Amino acid sequence: MNKPILYGSGYSVYVRSARLVLIEKEIEYELVPIDIFAKDRLPSNYVDHHPFGRIPAFDDAGFRLYETGAITRYIDEAFPSNPLQPTTAQERARVNQVISIADSYIYPHLVWGFYVEQVSNPQQGKATAEGKMAEARIAAPICLKALSDLMNGKPWLGGTNLTLADLHVAPMIDYFLMSDEAHRLFETFPDLASWWSRMSQRASMKMTKPSS
């Protein structure tokens, strides 16, 4: 059987989410390197895989897919090993809600706000965009409180078991926590800190840790 193919780079939070799902489900896959920020070196046919020019893109025996949420749900449903979605409609809705919160608010404010503005840009000698940071400082506690409220005392973001929600959010939190200010804020949410200590210890997280 052909291995599914994932196109992307190890630095990408979204590529990492898809890899985490493949690894947690013990599915062998091929990672085809695509550095999306080196636009001049992209394969000319990459647009056929992802018309919006993002990573990841996915190909399962000719079935092509882009958008991480769609990719990870497809993988979980097409491959029966180690299910990563709950069975009831309400529990699945919570998982999908967390994934949507991650895409709409966590990625722009915790990754592009805290990580890019406070960690990555200064490393590259670029100035911090204070306007963007001001927005991120307002959004971050709202994002973290929403996650904490949705956990509602359970060990994982989607309830009692590890789900796609944890694997979608964790790569974003890993970058977020590289900012000292973010780290201090995160520690004020003990249930999230305890979730992170479990999540970050998983073999899948260690295997996909982006090289700095």
Ligand X SMILES: N[C@@H](CCC(=O)N[C@@H](CS)C(=O)NCC(=O)O)C(=O)O
Closest CA to 8 of 63, 51, 76, 54: 54
Q: How many residues bind ligand X (CB under 6 A)?
A: 10
**Cα dihedral 83/153/187/11 (nearest 10):** 10
Q: Which is nearer to ligand X, 129 or 154 (CB)?
A: 129
Residue nearest to ligand X (CB): 54
Contact 59, 116 (CB under 8 A): no
CA distance 118 to 137: 12
Q: Does 68 bind ligand X (CB under 6 A)?
A: yes
Residue 208's alpha-carbon distances to 63, 129, 156, 182, in angstroms, are 25, 29, 20, 22
Q: Does 84 bind ligand X (CB under 6 A)?
A: no
Minimum CB separation of residue 123 from ligand X in Å reads 17
Helix (H, G, I), strand (E, B) or coil at 32: strand
Candidate list 13, 101, 170, 182; residue touching ligand X; CB under 6 A: 13
Minimum CB separation of residue 89 from ligand X in Å reads 23
Could you give the string, one character per residue 29-58, with x where binding to ligand X holds by CB under 6 A and - elsewhere?
A: -------x----------------xxx---
Q: Does 151 bind ligand X (CB under 6 A)?
A: no
Instruction: List residues near ligand X by CB under 6 A.
Output: 12-14, 36, 53-55, 67-69
